C-alpha cells in the first residue's frame, strides 16, 4: 500500500467529504508499515475494502412540528464494517450532520470497536435535525419518523445504534418505543436504554469515566498522579459531565466546561455541587453553559471562545471534531499541559496532533480513550442476550479492565525506539490488525 496514493484516490472519489478524508489520512500512514508486511492484504485490496463503507443508507425524515407545519430532514446510517460483529455505533442529531461527517465517524468506530476486545463492527448514523429549542413532543415525533425508516435496516444481530451528540436517554427511549411498535418485538436493538427497560448501569457514565481510566494508565507510564492536577474540559454534555465527575472523584481540579456558544472558567474548580447544577442545567432544563457564571459569580464566561488558552496540566476535549487546532495545541503545550485524552471523536486537527506528538506529551486519540462508551454498550448487549442485569460495580470493573487492555495494546503497537508511546499509531495498528485478519478469513465479499 502507498498510503498517500490511496488517500489521493479516495479524495477524487469523495471530493465533498473532508472529515472522512481527514480521518482516513490520519490512519493510513500509521498502519502502512505493518500492512506492507502482509502481501496477502494488498492482493485482496484490503485497504480499499476497509476504507469504503459496506453500505450507506440515506433517507428523508418527515415530521410535523408543534405549529402543524410539515418538516423534512435527512437521515443516514453508515454500516461501515461487520467482520467482527454486528454493526455498532451512535446516532448524532445536530444541524451540522452530513454524509462526510458520519462516514468519518463510522470509519473511526470500526477501529475503536475492534480495540474494545468485544465482538462489534463499526457504524454511525444521524440526522441534520437539531433537538436544540424543540419541545419534547417535537423530539418524540422526529424520533418516531426517523425510526419509521431506520427500523428495516437494524436489529440486535444486524446493527445496534446508540447515542451520540444530541441523542441521549430521552431520544433513545423514543427510538426504542417506535422500533418495538413497528416490529412487535422487544429486543436489545439499541443501547443506552433506560435502566427500567434493559439499559446497563454505568452506560451513561462510561465514555467519560473510560476516558479518565485511560488517562490514569497514560499518567502511570510516567509515574504521575491525577490527584491535585488541573484539568480543562470542553463540552458540557454526556461525555464532558462524566469525565468531570471522575476527575473530581479522583481529586483533580476541573477548571472549564463549554458549549457551542462559549466556555466557563471557574478558578475555584467545579466541585460535586456545581457539577450537579450543570447536569440539571444541561440534561433537564436544556440551558446554556453561560448560566453557570450567573449562578457562580467567581466563574468567568468567555463567549465565542474555546478553553484551550487557559493554563492547566491536562486537557480533555469532550465536545466535537476539530475543536483543537494547531495554534491552540501549541498554546496548551507552551502552558505546560502534560496529557491530552480525547473524549470526543477526532477533536484534534492533524496540526494539533503533530504539536502534541512532537512535544512528546501524552496524547491519546479518541478511538482509544473514548472507547469506554461503546464497550459498555457491548456489555449492555450481553446483558440483554442473557436477560440479566449486572451490578454497577461489576460493569465498572469490566470497563476498567477493557480500558487497561486498550491502553496496553496501544503501548504494545505504539512504543517507538526512543521509548515514546505513540498512542495514535498503537491504536490504529492494533485496531486494524484484528479487523484485517477477520476480513482475510472471511474471503473477498
Ligand atoms: N455519548 C457517547 O457515548 C460517546 C460520545 N463520543 C463523542 O463525544 C463527543 C460529545 O458527545 P456527547 O457528550 O455524547 O454529546 P452531547 O450532545 O451530550 O454533548 C455535546 C457537547 O458538545 C458541545 N458541542 C457540540 N457541537 C459543538 C461545537 N461545534 N462547538 C463546541 N461545542 C460543541 C455541545 O454544546 C455539548 O456540550 C462527540 O464527539 C461524540 O462523538 C464518543 C464516544 C462515545
Ligand atoms: O455506544 C455505542 O454504540 C456508540 C458510541 C459512539 O457513538 C462512539 O463510540 O463514538
Whose atoms come closest to the Cα of 260: which ligand? 1
Strands 87-93 and 70-81 turn out to be unpaired
What does the alpha-carbon distance between residue 241 and residue 262 come to, in Å, rounded to a whole number?
Answer: 16
Rounded Cα–Cα distance for residues 108 and 118 (Å): 16
Among protein residues, the one with the nearest Cα to ligand 1's atom 19 is: 237
The phi and psi torsions of 128 (rounded to 5 degrees) equal: -85, 15
Cα dihedral sign, 131-236-212-395:
negative
DSSP character for 83? S
DSSP 39-59: HHHHHTTHHHHHHS-SEEEEE
Assign 253 a pLDDT band (cuts: 50, 70, 90).
very high
The pLDDT value recorded for residue 261 is: 97
Q: Specify the DSSP class assigned to residue 310.
A: S
Instruction: Please answer whether residues 314 and 329 qualify as being in contact, where contact means their C-beta atoms are separated by less than 8 angstroms.
Output: no
Q: Is the CB of 163 under 6 A from ligand 1?
A: yes
pLDDT (mean) for 130-151: 97
Rounded to whole angstroms, how far apart are CA atoms 444 and 426? 27
Measuring from atom 7 of ligand 2, which residue has the nearest CA?
Answer: 90
Task: State in Å: Cα 238 to ligand 1 middle.
Answer: 7
* Nearest atom, ligand 1, residue 373 CA: 3
Kindly give the distance from the C-alpha atom of residue 9 to the centroid of ligand 1, in angstroms, as a whole number.
31
Q: Which atom of ligand 1 is nearest to the CA of 236?
A: 37
What pLDDT was estimated at residue 352?
Answer: 98
Domains and CATH numbers, the chain: 3-186 (3.40.50.10860), 205-366 (3.40.50.720)
Three cell numbers at 19? 472529515
Cell numbers at 18, concatenated: 473532508
Res. 271 pLDDT band, cuts 50 70 90: very high
User: pLDDT tens digits, residue range 352-363?
Assistant: 999 999 999 999
CA gap 256, 414 in Å, rounded: 31
- The answer to whether 244 touches 257, Cβ cutoff 8 Å, is yes
Q: pLDDT value at position 176? A: 98
- Mean pLDDT of the region 208-214: 99
Q: What is the pLDDT of residue 283?
A: 96
Mean pLDDT of 316-337: 98
**Residue whose CA lies nearest to ligand 1 atom number 3:** 373
Query: Would you place residue 13 in the very low, low, confident or very high pLDDT band (cuts 50, 70, 90)?
Result: very high
- How far is Cα 394 from Cα 373, in angstroms, rounded to an integer? 15
Tell me the CA–centroid distance for residue 359 and ligand 2, in Å: 30
**Which pTM was predicted?**
0.98
Q: Kindly report the protein residue whose alpha carbon is nearest to atom 40 of ligand 1.
A: 344
Mean per-residue pLDDT over the chain, rounded: 98
pLDDT at residue 397 in the model = 98
Q: Cβ distance 239 to 343 under 8 Å?
A: yes
Which residues are annotated binding-site positions for NAD(+)?
A: 207, 238
Atom of ligand 1 nearest to the CA of 92: 41
Taking only the tens place, the pLDDT of each residue in 59-117 is: 999 999 999 999 999 999 999 999 999 999 999 999 999 999 999 999 999 999 999 99
Using an 8 Å Cβ cutoff, are 52 and 26 in contact? no
Q: What average pLDDT does range 400-421 have in this prediction?
A: 98
Q: Which atom of ligand 2 is the closest one to the Cα of 371?
A: 9
Report, as an integer, the average pLDDT of 176-181.
98
- The terminus-to-terminus CA distance of the chain in angstroms comes to 20
Question: Are residues 89 and 165 in contact, defined by beta-carbon separation less than 8 angstroms?
Answer: no
Determine whether the shortest distance from the Cβ of 165 to ligand 1 is under 6 A.
yes
Q: Are 332 and 358 in contact (CB under 8 A)?
A: no
Q: How far is the CA of 192 from the centre of ligand 2 (A)?
A: 10
Catalytic choice (124, 193, 274, 282): 124
Residue 332's pLDDT is what? 98
Q: How confident is the model at residue 231 (pLDDT cuts 50, 70, 90)?
A: very high
* Atom 15 of ligand 1, residue of closest alpha carbon: 165
108 pocket-lining for ligand 1 (C-beta < 6 Å): no
Distance CA 78, CA 94 (A): 16
Place 227 in a pLDDT band, splitting at 50, 70 and 90. Answer: very high
Average pLDDT over residues 398-417: 98
**Ligand 2 atom with least separation from CA of 376:** 1
Q: What distance in angstroms lies between residue 440's CA and the mean position of ligand 1's atoms?
A: 35
Question: pLDDT at position 56, please?
Answer: 98
Cα-to-centroid distance, 403 and ligand 2 (Å): 15
According to the model, what pLDDT value does residue 257 have? 98
Question: Is 124 annotated as catalytic?
Answer: yes
Query: How buried is residue 354: exposed, middle or buried, by Cβ count under 10 Å (0-12/13-18/19+)?
Result: middle
164 lines ligand 1 (CB under 6 A): yes
SS3 percent helix, strand, coil of the chain, rounded to 5, is 50, 15, 35
State the residue for C-alpha cell 469490566.
Answer: 398
Percent of the chain whose predicted confidence (pLDDT) is above 70: 100
Which pLDDT does position 295 carry in this prediction?
A: 98
The pocket around ligand 2, CB under 6 angstroms, is made up of 88-90, 109, 112, 162, 164, 191, 345, 373-374, 377
pLDDT tens digits for range 293-313: 999 999 999 999 999 999 999
Amino acid at each position: 500500500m502507498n498510503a498517500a496514493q490511496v488517500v489521493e484516490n479516495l479524495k477524487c472519489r469523495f471530493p465533498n467529504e473532508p472529515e472522512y478524508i481527514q480521518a482516513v489520512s490520519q490512519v493510513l500512514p500509521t498502519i502502512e508499515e505493518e500492512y506492507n508486511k502482509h502481501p496477502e492484504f494488498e492482493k485482496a485490496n484490503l485497504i480499499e475494502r476497509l476504507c469504503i463503507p459496506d453500505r450507506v443508507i440515506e433517507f428523508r425524515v418527515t415530521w410535523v412540528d408543534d405549529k402543524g407545519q410539515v418538516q423534512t430532514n435527512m437521515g443516514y446510517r453508515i454500516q461501515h464494517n461487520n467482520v467482527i460483529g454486528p454493526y455498532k455505533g451512535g446516532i448524532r442529531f445536530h444541524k451540522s450532520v452530513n454524509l462526510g461527517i458520519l462516514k468519518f465517524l463510522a470509519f473511526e468506530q470500526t477501529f475503536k470497536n475492534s480495540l474494545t476486545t468485544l465482538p462489534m463492527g463499526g457504524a454511525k448514523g444521524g440526522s441534520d435535525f437539531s433537538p436544540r429549542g424543540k419541545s419534547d413532543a417535537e423530539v418524540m415525533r422526529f424520533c418516531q419518523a426517523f425510526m419509521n425508516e431506520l427500523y428495516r435496516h437494524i436489529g440486535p444481530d444486524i446493527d445496534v445504534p446508540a447515542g451520540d451528540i444530541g441523542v441521549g436517554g430521552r431520544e433513545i427511549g423514543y427510538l426504542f418505543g417506535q422500533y418495538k411498535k413497528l416490529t412487535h418485538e422487544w429486543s436489545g436493538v439499541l443501547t443506552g436504554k433506560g435502566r427500567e427497560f434493559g439499559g446497563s448501569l454505568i452506560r451513561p457514565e462510561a465514555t467519560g469515566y473510560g476516558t479518565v481510566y485511560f488517562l490514569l494508565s497514560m499518567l502511570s507510564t510516567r509515574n504521575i498522579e491525577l490527584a491535585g492536577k488541573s484539568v480543562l474540559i470542553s463540552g458540557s454534555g454526556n461525555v464532558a459531565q462524566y469525565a468531570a465527575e471522575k476527575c473530581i472523584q479522583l481529586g483533580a481540579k476541573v477548571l472549564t466546561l463549554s458549549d457551542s456558544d462559549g466556555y466557563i472558567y471557574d478558578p475555584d474548580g467545579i466541585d460535586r455541587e456545581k457539577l450537579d447544577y450543570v447536569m440539571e442545567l444541561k440534561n433537564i432544563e436544556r440551558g446554556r453553559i453561560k448560566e453557570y457564571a450567573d449562578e457562580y459569580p467567581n466563574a468567568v464566561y468567555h463567549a465565542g471562545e474555546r478553553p484551550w488558552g487557559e493554563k492547566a496540566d491536562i486537557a480533555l476535549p469532550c465536545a466535537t471534531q476539530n475543536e483543537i487546532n494547531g495554534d491552540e495545541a501549541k498554546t496548551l503545550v507552551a502552558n505546560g499541559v502534560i496529557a491530552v485524552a480525547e473524549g470526543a471523536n477526532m477533536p484534534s486537527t492533524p496540526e494539533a496532533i503533530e504539536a502534541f506528538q512532537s512535544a512528546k506529551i501524552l496524547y491519546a486519540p479518541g478511538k482509544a480513550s473514548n472507547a469506554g462508551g461503546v464497550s459498555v454498550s457491548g456489555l449492555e448487549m450481553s446483558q440483554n442476550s442473557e436477560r440479566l442485569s449486572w451490578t454497577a460495580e461489576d460493569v465498572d470493573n469490566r470497563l476498567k479492565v477493557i480500558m487497561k487492555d486498550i491502553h496496553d495494546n496501544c503501548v504494545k503497537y505504539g512504543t517507538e525506539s526512543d521509548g515514546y508511546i505513540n498512542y495514535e499509531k498503537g491504536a490504529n495498528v492494533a485496531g486494524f490488525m484484528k479487523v484485517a485478519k477477520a476480513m482475510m478469513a472471511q474471503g473477498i465479499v
